[in-house]
Amino acid sequence: MQIAKTTGDITSWCKTYIASALGVSPESIDAQQDFDELGLDSALITSMLIELEEWLELDIPPSMFFSQRTLEAMGAALADQAAKAA
């Protein structure tokens, strides 16, 4: 059984993932900053998407990174999608 993830859970997971990949602290990642300002390349976005899908047990369209401009917005959208799938 899948445990519901909140917007905060998902945003925190993403910040930790990105910070690890970029070699910075999670606290330095601004969840309200646009994705294009975070320094993410397509390889990092793809690998994060795959791991997010596994963690959330969801199919996430790659367009999520373009339709939701920030980690916070994406976290909210994914939490909503996860709640509907539960």
Where residue 31 sits, what CATH number does that domain have? 1.10.1200.10
Q: 1 in a domain, yes or no?
A: no
Q: How would residue 35 be classed by pLDDT, with cut points 50, 70 and 90?
A: confident
Q: 31 in a domain, yes or no?
A: yes
Number of domains in the chain: 1
Asked whether residue 2 carries a pLDDT value surpassing 70, the answer given is: no
Q: Find the domain containing 13 and state its range.
A: 7-85
Amino acid at the residue 62: P
| Single pTM value for the model | 0.89
Give the pair of three-digit tokens for residue 29. Answer: 């990642």
CA distance 73 to 86: 20
Q: How would residue 36 be classed by pLDDT, with cut points 50, 70 and 90?
A: confident
The contacts of residue 2 (CB under 8 Å, 6+ apart) are 56, 57, 82, 85, 86
